[in-house]
Amino acid sequence: MIDRRSFLLAGAAAGMACRMSADREPDYAAPAYEAPLLDFSTVKAPVRIESIELLRAGKEYFVRATGGGLSGVVRTKQVEHYIPILLDLVIPHFIGGDARDLEALIDLVYTKNYKISGQAFWCPVAYVEQSLLDLLGRVAGKPAGSFFGPVTRTEIPVYLSGSGRETTAEEEVDVYVRGVQATGAKAVKFKIGGRMSRNADATPGRTAKLLDLARRKLGDGIVLYADANGSYDARKGIEIGRQLEKLGFQFFEEPCPWEELTETKKVADALDIPVAGGECDHSLWRYQYMVEQRVVDIVQPDLNYNGGLIRAARVARMAREAGLPITPHNTQTGASSGNILQFASVIPNTGPYMEYPWRRPPKQESWFTPHFDVAGGAVPVPKGPGLGVEIDPDYLRKAERIAT
């Protein structure tokens, strides 16, 4: 046991070491994935961020950033649950900055708020980031994706998702038989298990019946994926994975609870079918561990839950270095489609299909263009500046500004 004198001497030595190190430049090697990503050379002058506002129009919420005489706007999802964090803890760290320093601003807001974690923090950061990317694209007169690199795809093949667990197996498969017919999609993802359910099925026998029906009704020409949303432990996950392999499914998403990496790795190590995961994660260090230890074979950061396109591109960079593909998790369509389409148009190691929710033909709204319909199994990347979504100015003029 250490005595008090030894403890005090050790403390004094540590303090001296700290004072000595303070006289030198910090010896810190930033990870390779943090190397600068964005090329703003076409934005010649500083774009001072004058304001960032939260707007509400009916049930819709938007973040609008203004600078250089222009505005960038992004539609949000569930931000109404995170309003104090957005207005009080996120936005103030961007005001007055040069929007071209966006990568540094994203890192700054993290270091100022590092004790806050999860979607409640990173979604507000993502919406601010996307509004600024939209603004910068409008200043430069070019799509926001082009700041990340050359555009390599002008349309994005998608897989249909949005599957639920409240239906029977027959009802759920029929939804996507109709979906494939309506959209020409070549890939579909089904929800299996009960969602974080400790091996319980949504209803007894539903998963086995759904998997078999999906393959029989959709045929061998359609790529099939399965998402368990953390329903299983490793033993059960391996058992279900073997069934997926027999039926020719092409990835198995979140077999085990997302926070339990050791169980997920056991499943990935035991199966031939690729295991996908990462939608709920928001730590770049954790993604690095998942990639380096091959916890998953396909990495799935969400462009909002993980803090935006920049942080997702960092994950893509580390995955590419390890030879892994990235297939972002996505729950947004319509006016929110710009982010996933811009991202997938330029990131070189994106998978063959991006996620796009579909359960029925979408309602055609009049307040934004284009409408991002799936045709021939793909969605065109918008060609306009910024995120490529044009929102009716009259619609936004009627919106209410939200303040704390």
The full 3-state SS of the chain, as one line of letters, equals CCCHHHHHHHHHHHHHHHHHHHCCCCCCCCCHHHCCCCCCCCCCCCCECCEEEEEEECCEEEEEEEECCEEEEEECCCHHHHHHHHHHHHHHHCCCCEHHHHHHHHHHHHHHCCCCCCHHHHHHHHHHHHHHHHHHHHHHCCEHHHHCCCCCCCEEEEEEECCCCCCCHHHHHHHHHHHHHHHCCCEEEEECCCCCCCCCCCCCCHHHHHHHHHHHHHCCCCEEEEECCCCCCHHHHHHHHHHHHHCCCCEEECCCCCCCHHHHHHHHHHCCCCEEECCCCCCHHHHHHHHHCCCCCEECCECCCCCCHHHHHHHHHHHHHCCCCECCECCCCHHHCHHHHHHHCCCCCECCCEEEECCCCCCCCCCEECCCCCECCEEECCCCCECCCEECHHHHHCCEEECC
Q: Does residue 18 surpass a pLDDT of 60?
A: no
pLDDT band with cut points at 50, 70 and 90 for residue 24:
low
Mean pLDDT of the region 227-237: 99
pLDDT band with cut points at 50, 70 and 90 for residue 273:
very high
pLDDT band with cut points at 50, 70 and 90 for residue 374:
very high
Mean pLDDT of the region 15-38: 70
Mean pLDDT of the region 370-392: 98
pLDDT band with cut points at 50, 70 and 90 for residue 29:
confident
Q: What percent of the chain has pLDDT over 90?
A: 92
Q: What is the predicted pLDDT for the residue at 23? A: 56
Q: State how far the Cα of 270 lies from the Cα of 262, in Å rounded to an integer.
A: 12
pLDDT band with cut points at 50, 70 and 90 for residue 272:
very high
Q: What is the predicted pLDDT for the residue at 27? A: 80
Mean pLDDT of the region 192-197: 98
Q: What is the predicted pLDDT for the residue at 13? A: 43
Mean pLDDT of the region 115-125: 96
Per-chain mean pLDDT for the chain: 94
Mean pLDDT of the region 381-393: 98
Q: Does residue 5 surpass a pLDDT of 70?
A: no
Q: Which CATH architecture has domain 51-144+392-402?
A: 2-Layer Sandwich (3.30)
Q: Does residue 4 surpass a pLDDT of 80?
A: no
The matching CATH number, chosen from 3.20.20.120, 3.40.50.1220, 3.40.50.300, 3.40.50.2300, for 152-380 is 3.20.20.120
Encoded tokens for 299: 């990495």
Mean pLDDT of the region 143-163: 98
Contacts of 370 (CB under 8 A, 6+ apart): 380, 382, 388, 389, 390
Radius of gyration (C-alpha) of the chain in whole angstroms: 23
Q: Does residue 7 surpass a pLDDT of 80?
A: no
Beta bridge partner(s), residue 54 = 63, 402
Q: What is the predicted pLDDT for the residue at 1? A: 39
Number of residues that this document lists for the chain? 404
Q: Does residue 349 surpass a pLDDT of 60?
A: yes
Largest Cα span, the chain: 78
Q: Which residue has the tokens 């893509």?
A: 316
Mean pLDDT of the region 17-27: 54
Q: Does residue 338 surpass a pLDDT of 90?
A: yes
Mean pLDDT of the region 257-280: 99
CA quadruple 61, 66, 70, 75: dihedral, nearest 10: -20
Q: State how far the Cα of 76 lies from the Cα of 301, in Å rounded to an integer.
A: 17
* Per-domain boundaries in the chain: 51-144+392-402, 152-380
